[in-house]
Amino acid sequence: MKKKEVNYYFKSFAESFDFAIQAINYLEVVVDNFKDGITEEQKSKMHLIEHDADLYLRDALERLAKEFITPIESEDILSIIRSIDDATDYIEDVLINMYIYNAKKLPSCTTKFIGIIKRECNALAVVLDEFPNFKRSKILKDKIMEVLSIEEEGDKLFLTSMRELYQNGGDLRDIYIAETIIRSLESCCDIIEVIAQGIDEAVMKNS
């Protein structure tokens, strides 16, 4: 029983991040089938994923508030799990921006960005699975570095895409919408990096 208590938070990280994986997978489906804007049904389905993530976060935080002994420092648990919840929020924001600005077409980099975000998510999922073994793990550091390396691809794509957007010119409204979508996609890459860095810092502090 005691072992389960110690492992609860590591399990909660992985389970909470599963909502972000659901969100990016759904965003990919929406983008792959994008025709003439985001529908109410698509917006609602994405929000349901985000809502479930918030409910899970609330339960985890309530449990943390009652705990006296945790496997790593409470402040590290709080920081990591909040960042994980942010990942789902940021992915939802991409779709919300498409909806709010009534985007009729998407930036050409959208599919490539989603591919990078999915790879980042998959790499971070491995990190989260390995996190419970942080004191003995021989691969955790390498897996964290893999996440950071993929995020750098997102940074490069962001710079290239933004430059091309303004080089090509066009209707100012369309440029603004495209820039907003591109920035929200890059924010998804960034927040996954933040989670990986938070885990890395927690490992160093708690080893």
> Which token pair is 54?
């918030």
Q: pLDDT for 14-33, tens place per residue?
A: 999 999 999 999 999 999 99
Sorted by sequence, the CB contacts under 8 Å of residue 99 that are 6+ apart come out as: 37, 38, 42, 43
Residue 149 burial (CB count, 10 A): 12
Asked if 199 contacts 136 with a C-beta cutoff of 8 angstroms, the reply is: no
In this structure, are residues 101 and 177 in contact, taking their beta carbons and an 8 Å threshold? yes
Domains, the chain, with CATH or none:
2-206 (1.20.58.220)
Determine contact, residues 16/60, Cβ cutoff 8 Å. Answer: yes
Of 73, 107, 70, 113, nearest in space to 91 by CA: 113
pLDDT tens-digit map of 99-148? 999 999 999 999 999 999 999 999 999 999 999 999 999 999 999 999 99
Region 171-185: what's the mean pLDDT?
Answer: 98
pLDDT-derived band of residue 152, with 50, 70 and 90 as boundaries? very high
Separation CA 108–CA 46 (nearest Å)? 22
* Helix, strand, coil content of the chain in percent (nearest 5): 85, 0, 15
Choose among 59, 199, 186: nearest CA to 124: 199
Question: What are the two backbone dihedrals, phi and then psi, of residue 107, each rounded to the nearest 5 degrees?
Answer: -55, 145
Checking if the pLDDT of 187 tops 60, the result is yes
Give the angle subtended at the CA of 171 by the CAs of 155 and 37, to the nearest 5°.
75
Degrees, nearest 5: CA angle 195-191-120: 80
> For residues 13 and 77, what is the distance between their CA atoms, to the nearest angstrom?
9
**CA–CA separation, 177 vs 105, rounded Å?**
9
Question: Mean pLDDT throughout 152-164?
Answer: 98
Residue with tokens 């789902």, as numbered in its chain: 88
Looking up tokens 């995020």, which residue turns up? 151
